[in-house]
Homo-oligomer: A and B are copies of this chain.
Amino acid sequence: MPDPIAYAQAHREEHLAELIEFLCIPSVSTQPEHKADVDHAAQWLAGRLTAVGLENVRVIQTAGHPLVYADWLHAPDAPTVLVYGHYDVQPAEPFDLWQSPPFVPTVRDNYLYARGASDDKGQVYLHVKAVEALLRSHGRLPLNVKFIIEGEEEMGGASLSAFIPQNRDLLAADVALVSDTMMVSPEQPAIVYGLRGMCYVLLDIQGPKRDLHSGSFGGGVDNPLNVLGHIIAKLKDETGHVLIPGFYDQVRPLTPEERDILAHYPFDEVGWLAETGAPQPWGEPAFTLVERLGARPTLDVHGVIGGYTGAGGKTVLPAHAHAKFSMRLVPDQDPAQIRALVQAYVASIMPPTVTYQLHFQGSAPASLSDLHHPAMAAAKSACQATFGREPVFMREGGSIPVVAEFQTILGLETVLLGFGLQSDQIHAPNERFYLPNYFRGIETSIRFLQAYGRAPG
């Protein structure tokens, strides 16, 4: 009988070439100028899902970017897996820091460099190739599979969030499988059981109606950039403690068992620090670095602009200041409540010498998965067979908003089986994916589908 693992190994060149084709499409969801590219990526993906033998392939139009759906449902006695991923990517700016253009995928030293290589095109596409290997080898799958792949993950996922509660039957499954997280190291697989949530905020401050001369007006008119500095300083103190009243009220305390699990996580602090290039680690003194990175809420300013930012000096007292910031949330912080706290706090600290507007963007609750679900055992054995070692279980600091929605709306636990690396530079210039783990990811996915197909229903 043909072996799907052998099939996958024999077709690596094609599997790489197709991923490169996928990565050439600049599907930047947050930038309106890329709308056509986002559509193109959805159509391209639907074509590939059809080509591997999946059925009911649909590009579903939404108020935002399309969703891509496909399934294979011919194993009535076996469980159903819902594979989730996203085909949209982060903006690629600043372009000048890329060693090769972000949308010209380039292989260097076993890494494939391109925007989206790791987050998430490479990781979602490996499941498509696993299905292909199984269908080409056996003519059928060992269980039922549904794919739901969205195009708004990097902008908050509003369309999928609206779609899920209205399409419970379409998306019904026994477990969700998501590859959008990271391994511990190139050889050490990991299963993420906790994800942070988030609440993203845009703050615009307006002072004078136009830029003023700082000599003529300085001392008599408040300066939006000075104000913004005070606001930022009041959002979070220098030790990492968020100063918004009530921010920590709903934080579920870490249990002694979980602190113990996290204390045994094989974290290479020296390597991690070198990877960041920061002078030293930083953060809340009462928590370990591993806890701070995944199990504690935080607040980061993502971008600030205002006044004159060209070459040389210009003595303006600027009319505007703009900042983007977000809070990463943990169970059981409620994004809607956090949003209300931010609104009230900013109102309380903003001086009457300026006006301002807050715009809330995507928000998502945090999630924690059940470690005893049968799919967890299948994922563990698939990792063991492919990598020769058991995965470690960890909390991840990033946010995959849909995972909490799967849990609360569809009642689905999620297996977060990721093949990325901390050094993949996702959301940054020179994003990359370690190619050996693209291929091992395909094999792990094949073995997961086989093992979970044999699990008691």
Contact = CB atoms under 8 A, between A and B. Distances in A.
A373 interface: no
Contacts of A326: 214, 313, 315
Interface string A109-145: 0000000000000000000000000000000000000
Contacts of A374: none
A293 interface: yes
Given A208-B277, A233-B233, A314 B30 contact: yes
Given A216-B293, A293-B219, A422-B216, A428 B229 contact: no
25 contacts: A30-B313, A91-B312, A182-B216, A210-B428, A210-B430, A211-B429, A213-B428, A214-B326, A215-B396, A217-B397, A219-B240, A220-B283, A221-B282, A222-B278, A225-B323, A228-B232, A229-B229, A229-B235, A230-B233, A282-B351, A282-B353, A301-B307, A302-B318, A307-B324, A313-B324
A220 B289 CA distance: 6
Contacts of A301: 223, 225-226, 229, 307
A187 interface: no
Interface string A179-213: 00010000000000000101010100001111111
A444 interface: no
Given A214-B427, A215-B399, A303-B308, 19 more contacts: A30-B310, A31-B310, A93-B308, A155-B313, A210-B277, A210-B425, A215-B328, A217-B276, A218-B293, A218-B328, A221-B276, A222-B282, A279-B354, A300-B315, A301-B307, A302-B315, A302-B318, A313-B326, A316-B427
Given A328-B218, A428-B211, A302 B232 contact: no
Contact of A226 (B232, B293, B362, B422): B232
A32 interface: yes
Contacts of A312: 30-31, 91, 155, 361
A221 B328 contact: no
A296 interface: yes
A337 interface: no
A283 to B, nearest CB: 5
A236 B226 contact: yes
A281 interface: yes
Contacts of A302: 214, 225, 307-308, 313-318
A63 interface: no
A229 B200 CA distance: 18
Given A232-B226, A397-B215, A300 B281 contact: no
Contacts of A240: 219
Contacts of A397: 215-219
A52 interface: no
State the number of copies, please.
2
A15 interface: no
Contacts of A314: 30, 90-91, 154, 302-303, 324, 427
A200 B303 contact: no
A212 to B, nearest CB: 6
Nearest to A328: B218
Interface string A136-165: 000000000000000000111000000000
Nearest to A289: B220
A309 interface: yes
Given A219-B240, A233-B233, A293-B220, A213 B427 contact: yes
A355 interface: yes
Contacts of A332: none
